[in-house]
Each structure stands twice: as C-alpha cells, then as structure tokens.
Structure 1
Amino acid sequence: MSAAQTQAQPAPRPRGSLRPGAVVVAALLAVLALVLNNDFYLRIMFMCGVYYLCAAGMNVLAGYAGQKSLGQAGLFAAGAYAVALLTTRWEWHPALALAAAPVVAAGVGLLIALPSLRVKGPSLALVTLAFGIVAEKLVTEWTDVFGGAQGIYGIAPLAIAQTPFSLQQWVWLVIGLSLAVHLALARAFRGRFGRALLSLQFDEIAAACSGIAVYRYKTLAFMVAAALCGLGGALVAQQNQYFNSDFITFHLSVFILLLVLLGGAGTIYGPLAGAVVLTLAEVFLAQWPFAQHFVYGGMLLFALYLMPRGIVGLFDRWRPAPPELPAAPNGAELPVRPVAKGVPLLQLSGICKNFGGVVTAQDVNLVLEPQRIHALIGPNGAGKSTLINILTGVIPPTAGTLTLQGRDMTRAGAHRLAAAGVARTFQNLRLFGAMSVLDNVLVGAHSRLGQGVPEAQARQEVMAVLAFTGLLAHAQARAGSLPYGVQRRVELARALASRPALLLLDEPAAGLNPQETRELGQLVRRIGALGVAVLMVEHDMSLVMNISDHIVVLDRGLVIAEGNPKEIQSNPRVIEAYLGSDAGLEE
C-alpha cells in the first residue's frame, strides 16, 4: 500500500441518522461562549469554528477523494470578497450575501476543477498552487474592485433589529453552522457518496468500472471544499467588517491542508481536532511569527510520517465496535438483471485499436449471448486485455462500434457501461484495500443505489452476494488484509453486486492454487446458471475447457477461431498459432 493510501485509511463510518455526541458538544460550546466575557477567548472560539469549516471541506477533497489542493486561500478569498462586494456595492442584505458567498466560491471552485482535475498527485497540487498565487496577485493589483492592500471597509455584518452581531453571537452562529456541516457530512460519508469518494483515492479505474463517474465526483468534492472554504472567508469578512489581500497568502493554503493532515484525513472528527490544536498553536506562536513556518513544517512532517492517521488515530483503540450486519437472506438466489430478447447481449463490429504504430485489435467482430459462459483465449500479446478494456469502456476503440442490447455504447465510458450491466474483475487485483469487504462490495452496487434502490435494500442484496461467494465471515475485515485467493473472491463479489448482465473475468485464476481454481470454476458455473453471461480471459486451459460454452481465440489482434471447446481443441490453426501443439488444449 502506498504512503498516500496509508495516510488516508478511513475509520469505519458511523451508522445511524443522528449524532447525539456532536449535538451535546455543540451545546456545551454554546454555553461556554455564554459564560465567557473575554473577547480574546471568544475570538479564539470563532476562529476555531471558521477553520473547522475550511478543514471539513478540505477533508472531503483531500481526506476522502484523495485530491491535494494548495489553492484554498483563493477560495477563502472568493467567499470573503463576494460578501464584501455584495454588501458594499450592491447593498444586498447581509444574510443573503452570506448565503451567496459559498455559492460564489463553489462556482470558482468549479472553474478551477474543470481543468485541474485532469491531472493527479503533485501536478494537481501545483495547478491549485498556481491558482492561489494568481488569486493573491489579482486582489492585490486590481485595486478598483478589490481595494488591494487597503482592502474593502464597511462590510455589512449580520444584525438583529439593526444591532450588529456581538462577538458572542458570531461564535454561536459559527457553532451552529459547524454542527450543521458536521451532521450533513457524517450522513453523506456513511453512504453512497462517502464510499464513492474513498474509492477514488484507492483506484480510479476500479471505481469507474464499478459505476462511479470519477471526474464528476472529483469535481463535486472540489466544489464542496470550495463552498465551505468560501463560507469561512465570508464569516471572517463580515465579522471584521473589513477584508484585504493580507488575509490570503500561501501560508493560509498550507495551514488549511495541515488542519486535515494533522487532525486525521479521511475521518469525520479529524478536521475538528486539527482546527482546535492548530488554532491554539497559531495563537501561541503569534508572538514569534518568524517561527510559524518552521513549526508548521515540523507538524506536517510529523503528521505524514509518524502519525499517518492524525490526532484522531491516537484514539483508535477506543473506537466503537462495528454495528451488527443485516442478516443474509436464507436460500435466496441472486436476482438477475433483465435483458432484452431477440438482440445480442453485446456485439462488437469492426473494432480496431492502435497505440501509435502498434495495432492490438484488428477488425474484431464478436457476439456475446445471454446465459452463456464465453472464454477469450490467445497467446501473450494477442490483444486480450485491450479487448477487455474496450468492452468495459476503460479505453475507447480507434474504430468500430460496441452495441449493448441494441444500444450504441462505443463512447459511453466505463461508469456508464457499468450502470448498463457490464461488470468486471481485473488481471491484477484492484481492490479498495483499506475499506472493509462489505464496503468494497457496496461500491459495486453504486449504480443501483443511484437508480433509486434504498441503502437498506442494497445492504441486504450485498449480504446475499457475500453469502453466495462464501465471504460472510470476512464482511467486516479490511479487504487488503485477506489472503490472495479470498481477495480474488471479494473482487468477484463486488462485480456481482452491480447485478450485471455481462460479467468479464480477466484471468480470474491467476495466482490461485489448484483447489482454489476448482472452487472458482464451480463458482463461475453457478453464476452462469443464474442467467448472467460470462466472458472469461484465462490461460488455464483446463478451467477454460471444463466450464466454457463458447470460446473465442485471438492472435495478434485478430479473431482466428470461434466455437465450442471440442471445436477449438481440434482446430489446426488454433493449435499452431496458440501453442504450436495440442498438448496444452486438452481437458
């Protein structure tokens, strides 16, 4: 597992519809604000809340979706200047301006995300860093609009009966907003949205082949982070009634990222822990500003290398036990996706694929029928993996058409093909290793949840899939900690959870011992008996000949033979092109 994945390992997400602990803490903080009469302490509480909002948004982007951004200062400014300009130039009501600020910031975030999210990792951080620098220069130099270093004065604050909010009331407001954000995100993280985001940081290809629109979810995460950061900026601007370019520096972007990394990326309480600790550290270090960068840099290194789960990771031993799993249906067969009759399930016509001057598929014509076990075989370099990737939308063909149940899906992409009933496993395992087996398989049901299936029903169906594949005992286990053969079954279960019409297995027996291979063959037969069409790419000829109804032979990107196992075994062209002898084609 990579360092980035280790750092972002999520705590088991909480269940239930209400978080009474969060409500109690918020109530106690509100009482504390009532008791405190010192503006200094109230100011610290206010900034803790603002930083929590920024960190909660950053946690969505970096902690769950795994996208590191160094441009949050620019989004903080977007919210602040939005509320400043709306109240001073256009004389909006302060409450409406505050409500509009996160919308404006989310729009700016969208404009940044559209080009930025085409890149990953360090490249993404550099692109967002460039945005932060441009934003800082823009507000500094465009004095007619943003006031430059002088800033904008007279920003209208929230008021009651024409009386501006006191600092105590601002603290209450930020506590209420923080509680609302916490409850909303906790609910989102424990369901379809949270699983989708987590899957992105572990394996985008596997996520897409599970029905997740990768680019759309990454963009949404960026917009949520931008909106909450913009809300934080708007609160600061209105409370101060003043804002200038000094507020938005590279230091602020690093500080917001550090809030998440130090608190615990990918955990619901990490942003809160980071906000409290770093706000207090900022107050303490205010008398030694020259030391701030050194201290924050040390904290960042400490969080990355010595405390990868952040402050909240120190309390893992007191984490509550996972909730009880729903019972698996007794004796119920897995439901099968209905398919249109009278048309081929999937048809390839004239498929070609070139990688520069290398041709990996040449005029491939293929028809896959429902309720049959197909096999795709051929020597190494025959183009089998290329064809599987085309079938599942991972790569587009150079020419030709792909039709699924009469619909042209040539350019549909992986997530749309998955939603339409095409599921797959991979030659090299692509599990979400830090997630539980249950959550891995629930990711496979993502597209069905998007089609109106309730979460509770999806969990019942997933439990049936786990029972069918013999994985019930491993439901709560971390997928990456299981033996290799069991991990292979988890990947298969994830594909079955989408209720596929066509299941593609890319070398499913690779790395399995003979006993596991026999069990796999029995499991594939049971899947075929349900009515699911199977296309299997496999080098184990014994497995292929024993369970296949129809075999396609590929050589150098060309289909050289099709037929049942006996026809393929006796085909001279197959024997010559594939192995050079018939020894390896015997059952």
Structure 2
Amino acid sequence: MKDRLHFPLVVLAAAILAGAMSFVGNDYYLRIVFMMCVYYLCAAGMNVLVGYAGQKSLGQAGLFAAGAYAVALITTGTEVNPWLALVIAAGISGLCGVLIALPSLRVKGPYLAMVTLAFGIVVEKIVGEWTEVFGGATGIYGIRPLTWDDEPLTSQQWVGFGIVLCAVTHLLLRNLLRGRFGRAFLSLQADEIASSSVGVRVYRAKVIAFVVAAVTCGIAGALVAQQNQYINSDFITFHLSIFILLLVLFGGAGSQYGPLVGAVILTLIDALLARWPSVQHFLYGFLLLFALYVMPGGVTGLFAKWFRRPAQALQTGSAGSESTRIGPKGEGELLIAQGVTKHFGGVKPAQNVSFQLQRGHIHALIGPNGAGKSTMINMLTGLIPPSEGSIRFLGQEISGRPVYSICCMGMGRTFQNLRLFAELSVLDNVMLGRHSRMTNGFFASMLMLPNARKQEVATRDRALQLLDLVGLSHLAHQPAGSLPYGLQRRVELARALATEPQLLLLDEPAAGLNPQETAELGQLLVRVGKCGVSILMVEHHMDLVMSISDHVIVLDYGVKIAEGKPSEVQSNPRVVEAYLGVDEPEGATATA
C-alpha cells in the first residue's frame, strides 16, 4: 500500500512546494531553496555511487564543471536551444563519468578516491588556466538561461523547475535502486567476488553508478550556470567535492532520503556561514569526521529504526517440495575437464587433472588438505584461469571466460568461507541470484515499465519458492548476517540455486555444521538433485560423501589418484594411503 501511495504523495508534495514558492518574493530566500535543489541533485547521484555501489569519489567538482561549462560554451557559441543545451550538458557529464570509471577496474578503495581526486584537480586547473576557452577567473558571461514563452525564467519559476526536477530524480532513482540494479550495486559494496558469482557484471555496474552520479551532478552544474548566466573557475574547487560527499554522508549514505536531508540542512548552514568562509571549511571538515566516526548512518540512520517495517513471516508451501524444477532433464556429459593444470610459480595445486561430470549425478571431489580441491572449483567457475588444459561446459570451452559469463551459462557455486551479502535480507540475497536471469535493462528499470515490474514480481516469487525448498521461507526478511551459521549456509545454497544452474559446485558445504545439520544437508542435496541440478561438492565429511554421492574423484597434491563409485574409492589403496599414510618397514626407519 505504501509503495502504491508513494508516487502520488511525491507529486503532491512537489506541487505544494512549487506553489508555495510562487508566493515568496524575496530573491535571497528563493536562491537558498534553489541551491537546495541543486545540491540535492548532486547528492542523489553521489548516493548511488557511494551509498549503494560503495565506490569512493572525490571528483564531483570536475563533473559539476563539465555540466556548467558545457552548457556555457554551447549557449554562448551556438544558437542551440537552452533546454537542448541542458540535455547535451548532461550527456557530456555522463561521458566524463565513464572516463572516471575506467580506472575502477584496477583500483579500489582509497586508490580509487585518489584517482577521482586527481580528475577533479585536473579539471579545476584546466578551467582556471585555459583562459582562451574557459575564461579562467574572468569566466564566461552571457550564458542563455532557460526560457518559458520566450522569456527567461523568473526566480520563482527557477525554484519550481528545480523542485519538479528533484521529484522526478527521486522517483526515477527510487525505481532503479529498489529493483535489479539496486541489488547489484549493494552486492558490489559487500563482496565483488560473490557478486560476479551470481551473474552481476561488476565492471559494467560500476560504470553505471559513475554515470548516474555524473549526469545528476552535471545537470546541477548546468542549472547553476544558466540561472546565473555566468560561470567562472571560483565555482569549481576541491571544497565543492568535499561538500557533495558531506551531503551524502551527513544525510545518510545508502538511504533514499539521506541526500534530501543533507541538502536541506547543509544548505541552510552554508547560507548562515556565508560571511565566514574559514568557519565554513572548518565546520565541513568537522561534520565529515563526525559523520564518519560518530554517526555512520547519517541523520536518517538515527531515525531509521523508528520507520523500519517489522519482518513478517511468509506463508508458503511445504519445505523441500520436489515440484521445484531448476535444471533441465536429460543424460550425458555435462562438463569435461582435460589435462587441467595450474601453477603459481613452483607450486602446482593442479597437475594434468582430467574428469567428466554427468547430468543428474551427485559428484564429490575429495582429498587431504592442500590437495587442490578449492583451486579446481575456482578454475571451473572462472575465478582463476587454468595454466594449461581444457574445460568444456555444455559443449563450450569456458577457460578464460569471466565469472559472470560462466554463471549465465548455468554453473552456480557456493564458497568455502561464506560470502553472503550480510547486510541484505535473506530474500534479497536469493533475488540477487536471479540477476542474470532478468532481462529488464537500465531504462526499463528506472522507468519501472510493465516488463520490469513483471520480472521483479516473478523474481520475488521464485526466490520465495527456493527459500521454501531449503526451509527458510519464514526468515525471508531477516538480515542474512544475523542468522546462525548453519542457516547462512542454506541461504548461500538458495542463492546459488536462484542462478538456475545445471551444475552446482559446493565448496565444503558442511564446514562448521554439527552432525545433525550435516545429515539434514545431505537430505537437502538429494532433494536438490531431484530438481534437475547436477552437483559437484568438495567435502571432508566422508559420511556425507559416501551416503549421497554417485561418483567420487580423489586428488592428492594436485594429482588425481582415483575416481569411481564411493565403494570403489573407499577400498582403493592409494586413497587409503593418501588419507591415513602408510607404515614404513622397520629397516627403512632404522636406516633413516
């Protein structure tokens, strides 16, 4: 009900505010409200980048300048309509966002922040010193403003347009962040490896986040230039980048209303302290540290618990229903590994390993510690490339393919050490598994077109069905990280199943489980197998392996020493020797 009312309530609030501003005659007050709108646009996009995608950026002043100077040069040097110039400036800012995003494939955290800071400083120097084009401190005059009926907008009309633009931005970003792309952004912040393992194209998602932040910031810069009909290098400073970051962190990063709260409060503070610039800079630094260390959730984080909806138990069908079909029916070879070798310098955790996995079977990959089992799983899923050999899945060579691509082909996995998105709910974790199976694109999601709504509903229903299969439907709205360890293992399994795998790779799924939980896991894996999913599990619990496996492969120091049915492997002398060792003759011991 609240979701259905949100759109009309936002429209009503924007109409009331815009109407109220038409009765305000003081240009100073109108200017403050207009700057609130400008700073909200900057903060809303920055919130997508920092609060959701977790990418640190200190170059927003450069993006603000891209929009401002683009619209200035277009409107003073051509006869292009000012409204069209605003749109072109937004596009140019988006291209600058792509430029900043390029290093994000190689650098992270503070290194990424330094790269974006360098971008901002370079832009600041260019607009300040390339006077022939950008005017430097003198600036560019005569920027054509937005018009209505061939007349420049009045102060009240500028504020009204700003309010409408903020409302539209809020609604579009809300649609985007509450759906497929919002979950993908949050997964980047939590764990990029786990994100790629469920089919998220990590680099593309980062670029999208940078572009969103760049476009909104560029629009804000263009609005300031057109409203003032003037822009110079004094507008583009490092302090602006810090202020935009502060808007997000102080209001509440990751909250949809945080940018609004930050923009309103800090714009008022900025206006009150306008006569004392040194005090402004000191206060911004203090508030930034305060937000980071004392109030990490921002202002909205202090009140979030009051508005958080209580989790409700979901009534679904019986747990573990075998009618849940995941993989296709069929027989034959599913995966063929031929001569797979991996070496890290002189260490070879896999040496000329060959095996085949059959459809409809539960396979086990066993061996002593250090045998190379996890390395083999990581090579099969694309996390690390093999040094030599061939891996064919569904008849296609997958060696060297990115992780998300292998996942999209139909190979899911879990990890030896849990890689859940702990801050997200159990349901959102499983819905993330469906990311690669959803086809709604960026604009369809942002506009929440009928196809996007339909896929979102279908994804939620499928996630609930899989949670029902693993017996966790009643915990769907709980944070995944708050569950007991054994239940977190099941959440990770459900997330992997949500990728719709034909082959499921489990890296020590029973690690850390007690005997009862291990027995229940064995029963669950048998049910999963009946749903059309072939399984390859790395496991140390021999009771589990021998009770449910159809085929066992044994590695020792990276070499395959045996394979076959569980009973055959159990009696193999080389396997017994690898696990238990062999007694040396007394004479050999004396000689030694």
TM-score, scaled to structure 1: 0.94
Aligned to 2:487: 486
1:336 aligns with 2:326: yes
SS at match of 1:321: coil
1:356 aligns with 2:345: yes
Aligned to 1:558: 559
1:27 aligns with 2:28: no
Matches within 5 A, 1:80-479: 80-321=68-309, 328-329=316-317, 333-338=323-328, 342=332, 344-450=333-439, 454-479=455-480
Counterpart AA for 2:343: N
**Alpha-carbon distance in structure 2 between the residues aligned to 1:236 and 1:332:** 61
Aligned to 1:50: 38
Cα deviation 1:59-115 (Å, max 9, x = unaligned): 000000000100010011001111011111123110110011111001011012112
CA contact 2:103–2:115 (8 Å) conserved in 1:
no
- Tell me which moved more, 238-247 or 397-406: 397-406
Query: What is the CA-CA distance between 1:306 and the residue it aligns to?
Result: 1.8
**Alpha-carbon distance in structure 2 between the residues aligned to 1:555 and 1:239:** 72
1:66 aligns with 2:66: no
Query: What is the CA-CA distance between 1:305 and the residue it aligns to?
Result: 1.8
Counterpart AA for 2:337: L
Return closer, same or farther for 1:472/1:116 CA change in 2, 3 Å cut-off.
closer
Query: What is the CA-CA distance between 1:327 and the residue it aligns to?
Result: 5.3
- Tell me which moved more, 310-319 or 430-439: 310-319
Cα deviation 1:297-353 (Å, max 9, x = unaligned): 1111211122121111222233152687875356572122326765x2112222222
**Alpha-carbon distance in structure 1 between the residues aligned to 2:458 and 2:5:** 16
Aligned to 2:445: none
Unaligned runs of 5+ in 1: 1-12, 583-587
Cα deviation 1:358-384 (Å, max 9, x = unaligned): 222222212111111001111111111
Return closer, same or farther for 1:226/1:347 CA change in 2, 3 Å cut-off.
same
Query: What is the CA-CA distance between 1:136 and the residue it aligns to?
Result: 0.7
SS at match of 1:494: helix
Return closer, same or farther for 1:17/1:210 CA change in 2, 3 Å cut-off.
farther
Query: What is the CA-CA distance between 1:18 and the residue it aligns to?
Result: 4.4
**Alpha-carbon distance in structure 2 between the residues aligned to 1:117 and 1:86:** 33
Counterpart AA for 1:333: S
Cα deviation 1:536-557 (Å, max 9, x = unaligned): 1011111111111111111122
Percent identity among equivalent residues? 60
Aligned to 2:541: 540
Return closer, same or farther for 1:131/1:92 CA change in 2, 3 Å cut-off.
same
Return closer, same or farther for 1:326/1:232 CA change in 2, 3 Å cut-off.
farther
CA contact 1:117–1:219 (8 Å) conserved in 2:
no
SS at match of 2:339: strand
**Alpha-carbon distance in structure 2 between the residues aligned to 1:581 and 1:530:** 42
CA contact 1:339–1:501 (8 Å) conserved in 2:
no
Counterpart AA for 1:504: L
Query: What is the CA-CA distance between 1:15 and the residue it aligns to?
Result: 4.3
Query: What is the CA-CA distance between 1:116 and the residue it aligns to?
Result: 3.4
CA contact 2:315–2:474 (8 Å) conserved in 1:
no
**Alpha-carbon distance in structure 1 between the residues aligned to 2:52 and 2:429:** 15
**Alpha-carbon distance in structure 2 between the residues aligned to 1:440 and 1:427:** 17
CA contact 2:331–2:360 (8 Å) conserved in 1:
no
Return closer, same or farther for 1:17/1:227 CA change in 2, 3 Å cut-off.
farther
**Alpha-carbon distance in structure 1 between the residues aligned to 2:485 and 2:266:** 42
Aligned-residue Cα RMSD (Å) equals: 1.9
**Alpha-carbon distance in structure 1 between the residues aligned to 2:83 and 2:210:** 25
**Alpha-carbon distance in structure 1 between the residues aligned to 2:502 and 2:316:** 23
Counterpart AA for 2:334: L
Counterpart AA for 1:537: V
Aligned length: 569
Return closer, same or farther for 1:332/1:231 CA change in 2, 3 Å cut-off.
farther
SS at match of 1:254: helix
Counterpart AA for 1:515: Q
Runs of 4+ in 1 over 3 A off after TM superposition: 13-18, 322-332, 339-342
CA contact 1:444–1:497 (8 Å) conserved in 2:
yes
SS at match of 1:266: coil
CA contact 2:330–2:359 (8 Å) conserved in 1:
no
SS at match of 2:254: coil
**Alpha-carbon distance in structure 1 between the residues aligned to 2:478 and 2:519:** 25
**Alpha-carbon distance in structure 2 between the residues aligned to 1:379 and 1:487:** 26
Unaligned runs of 5+ in 2: 441-450, 584-592
**Alpha-carbon distance in structure 1 between the residues aligned to 2:59 and 2:270:** 20
1:506 aligns with 2:507: yes
Aligned to 2:448: none
**Alpha-carbon distance in structure 2 between the residues aligned to 1:389 and 1:17:** 46
Cα deviation 1:236-295 (Å, max 9, x = unaligned): 011111111111111011111111111111111011001001111111111211111211
**Alpha-carbon distance in structure 2 between the residues aligned to 1:550 and 1:341:** 15
TM-score, scaled to structure 2: 0.93
**Alpha-carbon distance in structure 1 between the residues aligned to 2:329 and 2:131:** 63
Counterpart AA for 1:501: Q
Return closer, same or farther for 1:322/1:87 CA change in 2, 3 Å cut-off.
farther
CA contact 2:60–2:241 (8 Å) conserved in 1:
yes
CA contact 1:327–1:460 (8 Å) conserved in 2:
no
**Alpha-carbon distance in structure 2 between the residues aligned to 1:31 and 1:364:** 73
Return closer, same or farther for 1:545/1:406 CA change in 2, 3 Å cut-off.
same
**Alpha-carbon distance in structure 1 between the residues aligned to 2:47 and 2:360:** 45
